[in-house]
A and B are shown apart, each in its own frame.
Chain A
Amino acid sequence: MLIMRKISCTRLAWRNLTHRKARLVASVTGVTFAVVIMFVELGYLNGVYDSQTQVLKVMNADLIMINKQKEALAPKMPFAKKRLVQAMAQPGVQAVYPLYMEEHRALWKNSRDGREYPILVFGFEPHDPVFLIPEVSPIAVRLKEPDTALIDSKSKDLYGVREPGTTGELARRTLRIVGVFPLGPDFRSDGNLFLSDRTFFNCFPPVQGQGTDSARVEFGLIKVATGYEIGAVRDSLQQALPDDVRILTRQELVNQIKNYWRHAQPVGYVFGMGMLIGFLIGVIICYQILYSGIMDRWPQYATLKAIGYSNGFLIAVVLQEALYLAVMSFLPGLLCSLGLYALLEGISGIVMRLTPDRAALLFSFTVLMCTLSGLIAVRKLMRSDPAEVF
């Protein structure tokens, strides 16, 4: 008896919702767009975080050494190279690769219109496998030629032609592009350039009073030897080295940068508010759909109550309707959002990534949204008296 009731509850919910096709399409469309709003706002929020940590995610490192006071990817805040040398001597460290960075002094003058524009420049030893970008590994060795560079093909158009063979000026030195790689701009810089360490220091000699080449490493990439646990090596390195540097796992540094952006800029507030409004719109529309459905079938519901079905059963029907609505609007919302993400990434250059866990998060929001509206809608059912209808 109980099992039979459950089955017909589900079927009843489905039938209720799909009874009038045109009405269903109109209803689902409304909720779908509420889902799209939430997806886009979440996409922006994650886009800020993802873009600012993009280059970290392609660094070939188990641990990363940074200046203790460095908070985010930029501004430049290097540490003394000898710290890396000291780290190399520690147990568990298989290799260290220094990565140099320049921001403000790095003005790229492109050969197309002769305009200068700031670019983010990274310098490294060409034989060091510093980046995990597949395009970089085979061509990095070409950087051994003096005054050569690799340019980010996804940089903004301001940097001129981004193809091998073109030339440009960096800090009044002419450089030749010998390869391209895809990385993408972030909120601060609109392009990236890779140089060999030799070329890097030729372009950016130390300013008076700022120490010699040794005090210039921005990121110390550390590879942990097999058999050693990464966290343990991090701790032992931190202990062994003076406290003017910090050693973190790659994920820890990513989290630190995300936190910095969360607090330094009101992105959470701005996009969170957008998501909340989208959520509210969804609740209201879903509520209206469910409520109209209940009112339309008022006599039928009253009859069911009169012949002995409990309030619980009727509530279950409405909540199941809400669940179906959630699923039916989530799927087209997801597809729509995938398209929008691609479009927005193309226009803005910001990474808009829809990962399974983010989709799952949005799905739970959608279910919550519809369930909430369902719970509000059923209050009417619970208060009803069958006799009133007849």
Chain B
Amino acid sequence: MTIPLAWRNITHNKMRAATSLTAVCVTIILIFMQLGFYDACIHSSVMVSDQLDFDLALVSTNYMALKISGTIPRPRLQQARAASGVAWVAPLYLAQGSWRNPDTKVPREILVLGVDPRKPTFRIHPLNDKVAKLRRLDTAVTDTVVKGDYGSLMPGTTTEVENQRIEVVDSYAHGCGFTSNAEIIVSDLTFARIFEGFPRENVSIGLVKLEPGQDIENVVRALESRLPPDVQVWTRSRLEAQSIFYVMQIKPLGIMFRSGVALALVVGAVIVYQLLATEIMRHLKQYATLRAIGYDNAYIIRVILTEAILFAVCGFVPAALLSWGLYALTRTQTKVPMAMTFGRLFQVLILAVVMCSLAGLLASRKARRANPADLFGSC
């Protein structure tokens, strides 16, 4: 019953409807983009750990992020291996090093991951085969997704990492997100040769893979009781949560994007409120008339709310299409990983409807206060 009236209200003036809808549409696009950047930020912070195959991680008590991991004594790995339910344990070494661009000779920072080439450390199976080649000393597998100019990363390239001669034997494409601008994988022995100052008897993180069907909580408790307190036993999700916390709460970029989302929502609400308020002001006489002939406030609120939701839905559809295109554009123009998912579409639709409904409820106060006698008196 309210929809035809609400619909008529909006479409009565085609021009005004078009511009109002465009304003709502662009506002929703802003929300899409801010959410996209925010999510890309979160996704970027776990890109390095995403590559690794593990169920539990042994981390130092100083662990803050992958680059600031602290170290744990190497014997902890063997001690963990002996616990029941553990399939295998693998070491992970992490450090930032200097990669000399083989073409320009300009040094650049690079994240170096040191692994045992005999273990299947990575989730991406072809990568484990490539990593097996690292048994030869002073070799590396490069990640070709880099930010900035690192020169040739192709197999066959030789260059220096921290003054240690390195030969690239294979490459893959993944990206390391916010952790660094570029990354390479080397064997644990090569890692020790590159970073001579790295404490020899320590590893950065211990990766633990469980037998299938294990109760994770039980194994965590078993490991915690077995291992000394200089090591923390974390689940995969705990490690990811920490990475996300570090980027989103400590690092300024995360804070900027979170406030960006908040700003988009607040501004969106204000703009929709302004649109609806103007709409209502236009039809004030009609609302007064409706009240005069007996329609109650509840009806009027329903009409306005319907208008608001119609705004939301009609503005959402073109906004979603355009944002899909903008996400794709962002992916190609920058390395920011922005992907449109059904989850995102649903999330923004709900946000748009809630935002417009709240604005509508607030704006409806004007209509409810419309006194029929006043209006016709000033005619």
Dominant secondary structure at the A interface? helix
A383 within 8 A of B: no
A30→B271 contact, CB < 8 A: yes
B271→A281 contact, CB < 8 A: yes
Residues of chain B within 8 A of A347, CB atoms compared: 255, 259
B49 within 8 A of A: no
A62 within 8 A of B: no
A277-B29, A281-B27 are contacts. A104–B96 as well, Cβ < 8 Å?
Answer: yes
Looking at the complex, which one of A27, A40, A75 makes contact with B109 (CB distance below 8 Å)? A75
B148 within 8 A of A: yes
Residue among A270, A273, A285, A350 with max Cβ neighbours from chain B (10 Å): A270
Chain A window 174-191, contacts with chain B (Cβ cutoff 8 Å), 1 for yes, 0 for no: 000000000001010010
B9 within 8 A of A: no
B256→A44 contact, CB < 8 A: yes
**Chain A contacts with B in 46-66, Cβ cutoff 8 A:** 47, 51
A207→B255 contact, CB < 8 A: no
Looking at the complex, which one of B26, B62, B106 makes contact with A116 (CB distance below 8 Å)? B62
CA distance A23 to B335 in the complex (A): 44
A36→B267 contact, CB < 8 A: yes
**Chain A contacts with B in 2-38, Cβ cutoff 8 A:** 22-23, 26-27, 29-30, 33-34, 36-37
Residue of A nearest to B67 (CB): A118
A94 within 8 A of B: no
A75-B109, A277-B26, A349-B252 are contacts. A264–B147 as well, Cβ < 8 Å?
Answer: yes
Looking at the complex, which one of B98, B250, B264, B275 makes contact with A75 (CB distance below 8 Å)? B98
Chain B window 318-344, contacts with chain A (Cβ cutoff 8 Å), 1 for yes, 0 for no: 000000001000100111100000000
Dominant secondary structure at the B interface? helix
Residues of chain B within 8 A of A75, CB atoms compared: 96, 98, 109
Residue among B15, B107, B256, B330 with max Cβ neighbours from chain A (10 Å): B256
Residue of A nearest to B269 (CB): A33
A26-B278, A288-B23 are contacts. A117–B255 as well, Cβ < 8 Å?
Answer: no
Q: Which of B30-38, B135-143, B167-175, B368-376 contacts A (4 or more CB under 8 A)?
A: B30-38
A226 within 8 A of B: no
CA distance A141 to B64 in the complex (A): 34
Residues of chain B within 8 A of A270, CB atoms compared: 37, 334, 336
A26→B277 contact, CB < 8 A: yes
B82 within 8 A of A: no
Residues of chain A within 8 A of B34, CB atoms compared: 274
Give the number of chain A interface residues (Cβ < 8 Å): 57
B26→A280 contact, CB < 8 A: yes
Residues of chain B within 8 A of A51, CB atoms compared: 252
CA distance A291 to B19 in the complex (A): 10
CA distance A190 to B256 in the complex (A): 15
B270→A274 contact, CB < 8 A: no
A348 within 8 A of B: yes
Looking at the complex, which one of B26, B250, B277, B335 makes contact with A190 (CB distance below 8 Å)? B250
Residues of chain B within 8 A of A266, CB atoms compared: 333-336
B33→A209 contact, CB < 8 A: no
B70 within 8 A of A: yes
B259→A344 contact, CB < 8 A: yes
Determine how close the nearest CB of chain B comes to the CB of A204; give it in whole angstroms: 11
B317 within 8 A of A: no
B278→A264 contact, CB < 8 A: no
B152 within 8 A of A: no
Determine how close the nearest CB of chain A comes to the CB of B333; give it in whole angstroms: 6
Determine how close the nearest CB of chain B comes to the CB of A188; give it in whole angstroms: 9
**Chain A contacts with B in 65-87, Cβ cutoff 8 A:** 69, 71, 75, 77
B281 within 8 A of A: yes
B2 within 8 A of A: no
A156 within 8 A of B: yes
B260 within 8 A of A: yes
A168 within 8 A of B: no
Residues of chain B within 8 A of A36, CB atoms compared: 263, 267
B20 within 8 A of A: yes
A265 within 8 A of B: yes
Residues of chain B within 8 A of A156, CB atoms compared: 250
Residue of B nearest to A288 (CB): B19
Partner-B contacts on A (CB < 8 A): 22-23, 26-27, 29-30, 33-34, 36-37, 40-41, 44, 47, 51, 69, 71, 75, 77, 104-105, 115-118, 156, 158, 185, 187, 190, 207-209, 263-266, 269-270, 273-274, 277-278, 280-281, 284-285, 287-288, 291-292, 295, 344, 347-350
Partner-A contacts on B (CB < 8 A): 15-16, 19-20, 22-23, 26-27, 29-30, 33-34, 37, 61-62, 64, 68, 70, 95-96, 98, 106-107, 109, 147-148, 163, 181, 196-197, 250-253, 255-256, 259-260, 263-264, 267, 270-271, 274-275, 277-278, 281, 326, 330, 333-336
A-B pairs with beta carbons under 8 Å apart, 29 shown: A29-B270, A29-B274, A33-B267, A47-B256, A75-B109, A104-B95, A105-B197, A207-B196, A265-B147, A266-B333, A269-B336, A273-B330, A277-B26, A277-B29, A277-B30, A277-B33, A278-B30, A280-B26, A281-B27, A281-B30, A281-B267, A281-B271, A284-B26, A285-B23, A287-B19, A288-B20, A344-B255, A347-B255, A348-B256
